[in-house]
């Protein structure tokens, strides 16, 4: 049995035919219509029909979307970047394509894909953490996706790591994503350049001398060259990421953590300080069996694979 997985992002709608082993057999991609719920459903329907033309045995459609999805996996309660509010996306798509449709938060879909076919395969208890601009997450526990009562579980980026800490766009202070996300990495690099230009010399040169141009890829590039200033930025962010994993381990006791998102592209430069910090901060030492910390394997396609596979179950 085949399904179609759709990943609705801020700029493009990517869809693919997914087989039971998590492979994508065929792909299409369209621009995301801005602030146009019906137009969005039209685009999804077009992508589905196009793929179905070549794969008649498709039986269901799964859709991942960057927003809060209700407990019936039918309505998008709010998706800020897409301009959706209380949008009956399942119904709209279903009436267009005549197949069963399931809607899911995109981070949840990606986490499910990693758990089934990626870095987490073989484990029943997985915490996926996406270190992107902010921090997102997905929980697979007892082999099932944990969505929470209202579909908003795994908002791990907004648990608090510092009382009275840095202001977060969510209105709170000290959220984890202010300390361990890609934005935090960039802030660390730019702070260093402002207060110690010598230590940040290599990054500054790669950024053309402009502090504001020190972005994630600049820091990674300098780190790859062995630059101590850039490595110190990764250590700072990794330290906080590890603190968060330790807290999540105390609460959830997973078998492994799967780390995705742009920051994870730095590979061992970020994984090593994360593992080191996690091992120092987790409770129950010595003696506790440590969860593994792995890199996500499916990259940008995890959303399609996960959405497709969730439609199957």
Residues that bind a second copy (CB under 8 A): 78, 123-125, 137, 139, 141-142, 144, 146-156, 158-167, 170-175, 179, 187, 191, 194-197, 243, 246-248, 250-255, 280-281, 283-289, 291
How far apart are alpha carbons 95 and 117 in whole angstroms?
31
Closer CB to a second copy, residue 24 or residue 153?
Answer: 153
Closer CB to a second copy, residue 46 or residue 125?
Answer: 125
How far apart are alpha carbons 208 and 236 in whole angstroms?
24
Closer CB to a second copy, residue 99 or residue 162?
Answer: 162
Closer CB to a second copy, residue 32 or residue 178?
Answer: 178
Least CB distance from residue 144 to a second copy, whole Å?
6
**Residue 59: Cβ within 10 Å count:** 12
Least CB distance from residue 49 to a second copy, whole Å?
34
CA distances from 267 to 55, 205, 217, 223, 293 (A): 37, 23, 13, 11, 11
Closer CB to a second copy, residue 17 or residue 127?
Answer: 127
Least CB distance from residue 179 to a second copy, whole Å?
7
Least CB distance from residue 98 to a second copy, whole Å?
30
Closer CB to a second copy, residue 24 or residue 161?
Answer: 161
HSE (side-chain half, CA atoms, 13 Å) at 20: 4
**Coil, strand or helix at 13:** strand
Closer CB to a second copy, residue 16 or residue 157?
Answer: 157
Closer CB to a second copy, residue 147 or residue 275?
Answer: 147
Write down the residue that tokens 């709608």 correspond to: 13
Could you tell me the two tokens for 104?
């899911």
Q: Find out whether 140 and 115 touch, Cβ atoms under 8 Å.
A: yes
Least CB distance from residue 18 to a second copy, whole Å?
24
Instruction: Give one word for 164, left, alpha or beta, with left for phi > 0 and alpha for psi -120 to 50.
Output: left
How far apart are alpha carbons 211 and 197 in whole angstroms?
9
How far apart are alpha carbons 6 and 157 in whole angstroms?
24
Q: Which helix (H) or strand (E) holds 26?
A: strand 24-31
Least CB distance from residue 104 to a second copy, whole Å?
14
As a whole number of Å, the CA-based R_g of the chain is 20
Least CB distance from residue 146 to a second copy, whole Å?
5
Could you tell me the two tokens for 58?
């498709």
Q: Find out whether 21 and 71 touch, Cβ atoms under 8 Å.
A: no
Least CB distance from residue 90 to a second copy, whole Å?
20
Sheet holding 135-141, edge to edge: 144-145, 135-141, 126-131, 256-260, 292-295
């Amino acid at each position: 049995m085949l399904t179609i997985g759709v990943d609705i992002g801020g700029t493009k709608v990517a869809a693919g035919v997914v087989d039971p082993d998590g492979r994508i057999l065929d792909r299409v991609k369209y621009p995301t219509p801005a602030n146009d719920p019906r137009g969005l459903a039209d685009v999804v329907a077009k992508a589905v029909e196009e793929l179905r033309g070549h794969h008649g045995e498709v039986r269901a459609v799964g859709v991942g979307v960057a927003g809060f999805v209700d407990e019936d996996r039918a309505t998008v309660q709010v998706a800020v970047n897409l301009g959706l509010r209380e949008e009956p996306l399942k119904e709209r798509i279903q009436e267009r394509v005549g197949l069963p449709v399931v809607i899911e938060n995109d981070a949840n879909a990606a986490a499910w894909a990693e758990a089934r076919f990626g870095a987490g395969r073989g484990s029943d208890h997985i915490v996926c953490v996406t270190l992107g601009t902010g921090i997102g997450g997905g929980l697979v526990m007892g082999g099932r996706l944990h969505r929470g009562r209202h579909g908003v579980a795994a908002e791990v980026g907004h648990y608090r790591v510092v009382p009275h800490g840095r202001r977060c766009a969510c209105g709170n202070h000290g959220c984890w994503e202010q300390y361990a996300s890609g934005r935090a990495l960039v802030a660390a690099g730019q702070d260093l350049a402002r207060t110690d230009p010598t230590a940040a010399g290599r990054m500054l040169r790669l950024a053309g001398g402009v502090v504001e141009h020190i972005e994630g890829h600049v820091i990674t590039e300098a780190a790859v060259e062995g630059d101590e200033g850039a490595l110190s930025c990764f250590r700072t962010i990794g330290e906080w990421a590890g603190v968060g994993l330790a807290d999540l381990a105390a609460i959830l006791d997973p078998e492994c953590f799967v780390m995705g998102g742009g920051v994870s592209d730095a590979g061992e430069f970020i994984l090593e300080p994360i593992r080191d910090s996690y091992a120092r901060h987790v409770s129950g030492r010595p003696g506790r069996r440590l969860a593994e910390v792995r890199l996500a394997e499916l990259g940008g396609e995890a959303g399609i694979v996960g959405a497709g596979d969730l439609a199957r179950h």
